[in-house]
Structure 1
Amino acid sequence: MADIEETSGGWRKSTRSSQGNCVEVHIGGTVKIRDTKDQEGPMLLVSREAWQAFIDGVRNGEFDLD
């Protein structure tokens, strides 16, 4: 798993995001997800349970391309 870099305000992104082509997450009561290049733009809000299910799916290979 990639290392995590904390950005301003508690937002986090992968250290593999060298050109800003990724998303940042902020984990609180609700998980906020935003585009690194458009930090003032819209955010996707998901529950902590939905975020954990997504992370588990990534770790289990559910989204791997064949």
Structure 2
Amino acid sequence: MFNKFINYLLFILILAAGNFLFSMPSYDDVLLVVKSANTLSSDTANYFKAARLIPDANVCTITV
């Protein structure tokens, strides 16, 4: 009986760990700051925004 409980508990822990390890993190709380005059900054920001699905509202373009 105890061995069956341990096996069940281990199974649940493995499932929970798999969901945690393979889930994509959320980038909804990220602010992406882009220097508009710098091409490298713009290109990097565009790539990162697309790759991480960052919302348009979380992109701040600055001129320096």
> Above 0.5 in TM-score?
no
Tell me: higher relative CO, structure 1 or 2? Use CA pairs within 8 A at least 6 residues apart: 2
TM-score, normalised to structure 2's length? 0.24
TM-score, normalised to structure 1's length? 0.23
Please say which structure displays the higher CA radius of gyration. Answer: 2
More strand by share: 1
